[in-house]
Structure 1
């Protein structure tokens, strides 16, 4: 079950990363908080590249999976302020067009953190 979650998470990250660079680039810009010192598009491109790298590592790496899982968990934690900013500033994106939907989405991020850690932990 852990392998399945790891593969699904890796695929999700690769897919999201590719969409950062292509079809959903504008949508992702709605999530960039004002305090990020980089241009919104540069931030979206950089985070997309990181997502592709992390997703690929989750899918392909045999060694150091637990370290990769911790890095993925840190990444999910690092992008959480973007989700909060999107909710606080009422910015639509990805069909999240109400405050209720944007707020509910905030509870998904801890699930991603937990999934990254759980699916990559070493066997006991």
Structure 2
């Protein structure tokens, strides 16, 4: 199997796994929904879970991979405010927790670049 196909499958799997997690353990996602968004945090948790499932499925399907990967890049950028909120909210937690939350911030950049690379290779 070509490396680029493995990369696309890994990206799609990551997104599908994250989408499933939104439904399996929604409380952890509810907590990082920015308060400025209208509606309930649970609605945003479920909506983002559906988006991750749909985008992951699109990345996994060769016919929709390019569009799905572009959508993945947009999704990774769109969830950045939730990661900022998490890092802020966790600023007083013990060091390992605080560092993990802070590490999520720069992680968005390679995720966006990965999605764009999958799109180019689709």
Q: TM-score, normalised by structure 1?
A: 0.85
Structure 1 consecutive aligned stretches of length 4 or more whose deviation exceeds 4 Å:
none
Give the gaps of 5 or more residues in structure 2. Answer: none
How far 1:100 sits from its partner (Å)?
1.9
Answer yes or no: is the 8 Å Cα contact 1:2–1:120 preserved in 2.
no
Q: Which residue of 2 aligns with 1:113?
A: 112
Answer yes or no: is the 8 Å Cα contact 1:58–1:65 preserved in 2.
yes
**Which of 5, 11, 15 pairs up with 2:7?**
5
Q: TM-score, normalised by structure 2?
A: 0.86
Q: Which residue of 1 aligns with 2:53?
A: 52
State the aligned residue count.
Answer: 118
CA deviation map 1:22-54 (0-9, x unaligned)? 2x2111112211111121000000000111111
CA deviation map 1:58-106 (0-9, x unaligned)? 112x2343222111100110001100011112289xxx96322211121
State the structure with bigger RCO (CA 8 A, min sep 6), 1 or 2: 1
Give the gaps of 5 or more residues in structure 1. Answer: none
Q: Does 1:71 align with 2:71?
A: yes
| CA-atom RMSD in angstroms | 2.0
Answer yes or no: is the 8 Å Cα contact 2:55–2:68 preserved in 1.
yes
Structure having the larger proportion of residues in helix? 2
What pairs with 1:64-103 in structure 2 (closer than 5 Å)?
64-90=64-90, 98-103=97-102
Q: Which residue of 1 aligns with 2:103?
A: 104
